[in-house]
């Protein structure tokens, strides 16, 4: 588990403390020692990006057409929740209350590496999501192979 080159991968279970501090696995934190950007993710998880990756993402977001309602809505939610999260001396980040509420984070969390980002999940939500996708994995693989992926 951990990192491979510039790719995040692996699954880690960590407990968030009563002050909403969450330990970032060493394999992940060594990629961005000056901290991360945390924001609203999809499927009720949070996205955690390195500062370099966040810069790349915001450059792409600048090209979203503000005349399109969907683009405006996505930008508002994605950026409103975004916060810089420096690492403390123990390698933890502070997760804002609003993001904890969005992702239903309490104590037990799962951090997973997904290529260019880390996702933070409530452990029960992750287990349910994982099971539902695993049941469809063959069909998903077939559809992706039809697309040439």
pTM more than 0.85: yes
User: C-alpha angle with apex 12: 6 to 14, nearest 5 degrees?
Assistant: 130
Q: Mapping DSSP to helix (H, G, I), strand (E, B) and coil, where does residue 84 land?
A: strand
pLDDT band, very low/low/confident/very high, at 1 (cuts 50, 70, 90): very low
Residue among 113, 62, 63, 54 at smallest CA distance from 81: 54
Q: Which tens digits make up the pLDDT trace of 65-107?
A: 999 999 999 999 999 999 999 999 999 999 999 999 999 999 9
**Gyration radius of the chain over CA positions:** 16
**Tokens 């469809």 found at:** 136
Residue-range domains of the chain with CATH? 2-146 (3.40.1550.20)
Separation of alpha carbons 78 and 44, rounded Å: 12
């Amino acid at each position: 588990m951990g990192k491979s080159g510039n790719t995040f991968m692996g699954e880690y279970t960590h407990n968030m403390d009563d002050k909403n501090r969450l330990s970032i696995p060493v394999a992940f934190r060594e990629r961005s020692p000056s901290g991360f950007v945390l924001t609203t993710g999809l499927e009720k998880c949070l996205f955690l990006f390195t500062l370099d990756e966040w810069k790349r993402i915001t450059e792409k977001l600048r090209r979203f057409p503000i005349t399109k309602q969907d683009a405006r809505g996505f930008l508002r939610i994605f950026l409103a929740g975004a916060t810089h999260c420096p690492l403390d001396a123990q390698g933890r980040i502070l997760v804002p209350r609003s993001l904890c509420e969005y992702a239903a984070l309490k104590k037990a969390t799962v951090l997973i590496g997904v290529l260019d980002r880390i996702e933070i999940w409530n452990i029960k939500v992750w287990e349910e999501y994982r099971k539902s996708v695993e049941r469809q994995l063959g069909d998903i693989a077939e559809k992706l192979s039809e697309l040439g992926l």
